[in-house]
């Protein structure tokens, strides 16, 4: 069975929601980098219950009515990547962490660059909030959806004082 997808419009551009059976497998960006998230062929299903529920929760989040997502997730990656992605889920709404903070949290304090690489391959953007991970200097660093989208998401969550890193 192929993963199913639904495309939605959002304040950060078009998003592609992807499900494997009853779990969310990915949220892809409009200008997604080729092979950042490997899913293989997809089949469109605009009525899939999980994809409709994901859309509903995302729209509530963008409207400022939701701080936590309640969805079953299906992370596919290496053990290390999955540990990083699960650590992202522990970052509270409206807060940020550095790549070093995540490395320490997963018990690998010298793996800061590897954490950054795993963060960049996070398949479930927004819900596994990789946008809440910033440079140790407090600057905004790379983001699959682009730095403007990262700034918008952080502003939505009340983190408006962060600076873009160029």
Just list the catalytic residues. Answer: 130
Neighbour count for residue 4 (Cβ, 10 Å): 20
pLDDT of residue 159: 61
CB 156 within 8 A of CB 64: yes
Backbone dihedral angles phi then psi of residue 20, each to the nearest 5 degrees: -110, 110
Residue 157's nearest CA partner among 12, 3, 52 is 12
Return the percentage of the chain with pLDDT > 90, whole number: 73
Is residue 137 over pLDDT 60? yes
Averaged over 142-147, what is the pLDDT? 77
β-partners of residue 134 are: 98
CB 68 within 8 A of CB 21: no
Neighbour count for residue 46 (Cβ, 10 Å): 12
When computed from its CA atoms, the radius of gyration of the chain, rounded to whole angstroms, is: 15
Is residue 160 over pLDDT 80? no
CB proximity list for 105: less than 8 A, separation 6 or greater: 87, 90, 97
Q: Tens digit of pLDDT for each residue in 1-32?
A: 899 999 999 999 999 999 999 999 999 998 87
């Amino acid at each position: 069975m192929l993963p199913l997808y639904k495309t939605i419009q959002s304040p950060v551009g078009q998003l592609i929601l992807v499900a494997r059976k009853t779990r969310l497998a990915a949220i892809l960006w409009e200008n997604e980098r080729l092979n950042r998230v490997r899913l293989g062929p997809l089949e469109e299903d605009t009525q899939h219950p999980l994809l409709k529920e994901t859309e509903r929760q995302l729209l509530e989040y963008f409207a400022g009515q939701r701080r936590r997502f309640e969805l079953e997730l299906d992370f596919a990656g290496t053990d290390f990547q999955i540990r990083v992605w699960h650590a992202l889920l522990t970052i509270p709404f409206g807060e940020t962490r550095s790549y070093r903070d995540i490395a320490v949290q997963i018990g690998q304090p010298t793996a800061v660059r590897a954490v950054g690489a795993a963060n960049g391959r996070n398949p479930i953007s927004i819900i596994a909030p990789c946008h809440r991970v910033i440079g140790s200097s407090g600057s905004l660093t790379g983001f699959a959806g682009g730095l403007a989208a990262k700034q918008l998401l952080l502003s939505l969550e009340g983190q408006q004082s962060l600076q873009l890193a160029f």
